Amino acid sequence: MSSSSRRFGPFRQFLVNPSWTTAQGLKLAGMGQRIDVYIKELPVSYSSTQRIIAELWQTLKPKFAVPLGIARGSSLVILEQTGKNSGYSTRDVCNCSPTDHLCIVGGPEKLDSVVNMRTISKHFKQAGMDVVHSRDAGRYLCDFAYYCSLYHGERRAAFIHIPSSGSLSSAERLVPLLQETIVMMLDQLEEIHCGD
């Protein structure tokens, strides 16, 4: 089983994006013997992100992808359910926005992950962890990358916004939490495929 994790390059006040440090921590810690982890840094650029994600799905053919991004000002881990195709008018670091402000011309307006983020967030909330689910990844590069991953991966993706502050922003606490979260996502994916 393979899993792919992507994160973004330097972003606003973050010279080293914490999502990259987290992705490296996940790669180093591993996900167990049956799961291969591949990480790729994405530039904060719509066109590059779109191209890289399409190439990764075509060449690596991962079973599941988990893009990571920073939730500025948040102390929560946010599991995103939905990627949206339109509304990308904010310019990236290259001072560009996507053609017609869309991720994929002709793509559906929104795509939901096959994984139920509400179920996973409930598990962690019951354990007293600051994990929530959301249906709005923000209409910038995070949402854009998520929609592209959902589109090319036939909805086999999950976007995780990691906190920029609070106790879960430390790699020591965040990496084990993300390991458990991703394993739960992959278990859900297995159950879905077994039911087919």
**9's tokens:** 């390059």
User: 172 an active-site residue?
Assistant: no
Which candidate in 80, 103, 133, 152 is catalytic?
80
Which candidate in 103, 133, 152, 161 is catalytic?
161
Which candidate in 103, 133, 142, 148 is catalytic?
142
Concatenate the DSSP letters of all residues of the chain into one string. -EEEEEEE--BTTBSS-HHHHHHHHHHHH---TT-EEEEEEEPS-HHHHHHHHHHHHHHT--SEEEEEEEETT--SEEEE-EEESB---S--TTS---GGGBSSTT--SEEE-SS-HHHHHHHHHHTT--EEEES---SSHHHHHHHHHHHHTTT-B-EEEEESSSGGGSHHHHHHHHHHHHHHHHHHHHHHHHH-
User: 80 an active-site residue?
Assistant: yes
User: 142 an active-site residue?
Assistant: yes
Residue 121: name the closest of 111, 103, 133, 136 by CA.
133
Which residues are the active-site residues? Answer: 80, 142, 161
